[in-house]
Amino acid sequence: MEILRIVVTGSVGSGKTTFVRAISEIDVVDTDRRATDETAEIKSETTVAMDFGRLTFAPKQALHLYGTPGQSRFDFMWDMLIHEADAYILLVAAHRPQDFYNSRRILQFMNQRVQIPMLIGITHTDCPNAWNPEDVAISLGLVDKNTRPPLVLVNANEPASVLETLIALIQELMKTSVLE
């Protein structure tokens, strides 16, 4: 079976676990634990190692989805997961500009380790005070529209939206001939 390994990363609360759960055909393997730091102000549980889900998209082809923790203290997991990835998605919560710096740091961390196809998934665009995608991209340092990765609006709660995001990522993979 051909397996494409996709890492779903981003700041705490950007929707990584929800994204993986929305599309996985298996019960998601997760490492959620009670949040004991400032994360508890956002949510009660948080990923401390990874989430794992699978989606079969052809008779002998499947996506393995790996959700990372959002806190930088778990960056050793980011490192372990990204080295085996074929592509990745950085989820950014548009309604929390205070987290954009951390999202930018995660983006730099990943790009220092690998040069693989990726895209930016903009989540929480329906929330009050959500930034528009262009402003989010600028805050991430992605100013040049010609060289930046694609921006995709995604509702991590909706399987159809998650699927559209994964299709956009696979299209990026096809541009680099990874799927030949």
Q: What would the pLDDT profile of 90-128 be if each residue is shown by its tens digit?
A: 999 999 999 999 999 999 999 999 999 999 999 999 999
Assign 89 a pLDDT band (cuts: 50, 70, 90): very high
For the chain, give the number of residues: 180
Alpha helices in 49-158 (DSSP H): 75-82, 100-113, 133-139
Instruction: Assess whether pLDDT exceeds 70 at residue 39.
Output: no
pTM: 0.89
Determine contact, residues 16/33, Cβ cutoff 8 Å.
no
What does the pLDDT average to over 173-180?
Answer: 68
CATH architecture of 2-175: 3-Layer(aba) Sandwich (3.40)
- The sign one gets for the Cα dihedral 131, 91, 171, 142 is positive
Assign 46 a pLDDT band (cuts: 50, 70, 90): low
Percent of the chain with pLDDT over 70: 87
Please name the amino acid found at residue 30: D
What does the pLDDT average to over 151-169?
Answer: 97
